[in-house]
Amino acid sequence: MANIRILPFNALSLSTSSVTVTGTADSGYPESRLYDHSIDFYWKYTASGTLEITCDQGALGSWPLVNTLLIDKHNFNGRTISWEYSSNGSDWSDMVTSWVQGDNLQIVKESLIDVAYRYHRLTVASAVNPQCTEVWMGGNYEFNVRYDDPPEQSDSDNVIWTETLGGIERSTKLGGVRRGRVYSLFLFPDALTNWKALVAYLDEYSKPFYVRDHEGDYWFSRFRTLPGGVYITEQQQEKEIELLEIL
């Protein structure tokens, strides 16, 4: 059996969290774009210097585990970036080793440890007019995929076809092809507990999320249909889920 991972929360957007960002965002590109569960709208800051995005999850005493950083649609090419955690907001430790970003493609960083600390910080050195969409710092729930009921590819072409009175078909392309996947999952007791926690984070399936598919690719997603399932025993379930990419 292979597995998939679903990342249902961004620590920056939790109800107890407060976020501090270097400088003042450009008009029309507010800081809230960094954690609004959308990769369509940008945060921008027209200035040069060190960029810091700091998340304080509040004085709960117990915080969710964080192990993955995801950033789409940024302009951090050539910049040295660090991702850190702290218990007090003063003394910082690396989530991963700092790196020089080699392009403007999706950033994916997976920590070797699951960290439950109050503070998390992203630092981009020598940033020039930085911009990006969601800065996702989250944990994941991992689920086993059943290969006796193989995963299905169900991509969406993102095109509307219309037919003229003369019978000629014309297309309107709304965007790129959207990935779609159908998975059958085997949920043992621990995984079933995790599924219930996932649903709570997603506010009863009303929020999008990141998924790492069975091929290891991360993409922003939602459920295409309400996930169904069959109970094998009281604490074991077979569940089918359909995922659709959000561009």
Place of tokens 């960083």: 109
For 91-120, what is each residue's pLDDT tens digit?
Answer: 999 999 999 999 999 999 999 888 899 999
Q: Tell whether 97 and 165 lie within a shared domain.
A: no
Domain coverage including residue 188: 144-245
pLDDT at position 38 over 80: yes
pLDDT, position 60: 80
pLDDT, position 82: 98
Q: Tell whether 233 and 162 lie within a shared domain.
A: yes
pLDDT, position 113: 85
The answer to whether 157 and 177 are in contact (CB under 8 A) is yes
Q: Tell whether 162 and 117 lie within a shared domain.
A: no
Residue 59 and residue 57: Cα distance in Å, rounded? 7
State the average pLDDT for the chain: 95
Q: Tell whether 123 and 155 lie within a shared domain.
A: no
Number of domains in the chain: 2
Structure tokens at 176: 């790129």
What's the predicted TM-score (pTM) here?
0.92
What CATH number does residue 228 fall under? 2.40.30
Q: Tell whether 174 and 130 lie within a shared domain.
A: no
Residue 241 and residue 225: Cα distance in Å, rounded? 8
